[in-house]
Amino acid sequence: MKIGLIPVNVGVPNVEGMVGMAQLAEGIGFESVWTFEHAIVPNDYNSKYPYSADGKMGVTPETNFVDPLIALTAIAMATKTLRLGTGVNILSQANPLYVAKQAASLDFVSNGRFELGVGIGWLEEEFKAAGTPFERRGARFDDYVQAMRKFWTGDTVEHKSDFIDWSGFKSNPTPIQNPMPIVIGGTKGKAFQRTALHGNGWFAPTASPDQLAPMLDELDAACKEAGRDRGEIEVTAMWFPNPSDLSDVDRYRDMGVGRLVVMLPALGKGNPADNLKAFGDNVLAKLA
């Protein structure tokens, strides 16, 4: 089972702390580190965060929220084997030309270690600030993914749609990985259909095997409808470990989960580096 850590770009005091945490994670055996994305955190918002009971995300506007691709580039330069994932970037509110270019460049400078996790977004106030319509964000997302796949081939790009007008250009370098891994996040709306149609992976923001199980049934159904083998899609699930009972790892494995991502704050209060070292000794060593 692959074990990842999230988030490495939120609440960090400085670049040394951010990069040092990633280096520590690599040293004690984590397979990957992941980021969250919000370009802004409104002082107040009416949009409902879909993964908390109160509809609010767990950060304040004053929280350091380093841009994921910049954070992962800094980490790439200071690590050797650690995979680098966005969990997830809000593709529908971004410019797909720049996302495609930056993703290819990050895969290039990391020597093929990048996982592009993307979602359609939920924070309407952020879309407004970005100057992007909140409406049709699902259709925009689907179109962007298809266009970016063309962008990454190194061939002449031709893609015309309701959202994009690309013609007669190439972009290099292409990603080291082929295909470039696109991990689709979320459980709402058409997340499973999008994963089946467009994804190399699915990022599941779930809290337990029991919560995940029925969603995997939905993913199976979507893959069947799309004529896709679900085994082609790497499932990444959030994990809230109990160091005294790691039986849930076997449950996740039996369900076909390929990676478990641990929330750094869930490892305890106090010094994050100390908590990470204790997790390495008490959990990762048992899973090795």
Residue 288: pLDDT band by 50, 70, 90 thresholds? confident
Reduced to 3 DSSP states, what percent helix, strand and coil does the chain have, rounded to the nearest 5? 40, 20, 40
Specify the pLDDT at position 132: 97
Cβ neighbors of 200 (< 8 A, separation 6 or more) are 179, 181, 182, 183, 232, 233, 234
Q: Which two tokens stand for residue 76?
A: 């790439």
Q: What is the pLDDT of residues 262-275, one digit of tens each?
A: 999 999 988 999 99
Q: What is the pLDDT of residues 51-61, one digit of tens each?
A: 999 999 999 99
Taking 90 as the threshold, does the pLDDT of residue 170 lie above it?
yes
Q: What is the pLDDT of residues 74-128, one digit of tens each?
A: 999 999 999 999 999 999 999 999 999 999 999 999 999 999 999 999 999 999 9
Q: What is the pLDDT of residues 192-216, one digit of tens each?
A: 999 999 999 999 999 999 999 999 9
Cis previous bond, 145, omega within 30: no
Residue 46: pLDDT band by 50, 70, 90 thresholds? very high
**Euclidean distance between the first and the last CA atom of the chain, given in angstroms as a whole number:** 9
**Phi and psi torsions of 47, nearest 5°:** -60, 145
Q: Which residue has the tokens 């790009």?
A: 157
How many other CB atoms sit within 10 Å of the CB of residue 180?
21
Residue 172: closest CA among 105, 229, 238, 125: 105
Cβ neighbors of 1 (< 8 A, separation 6 or more) are 249, 252, 253, 257, 258, 259, 260, 287
Q: Which two tokens stand for residue 265?
A: 């704050």
Domain 2-287 has CATH 3.40.50.1370: no
Specify the pLDDT at position 35: 98
Are 92 and 137 contacting, i.e. CB atoms less than 8 angstroms apart?
yes
Specify the pLDDT at position 214: 97
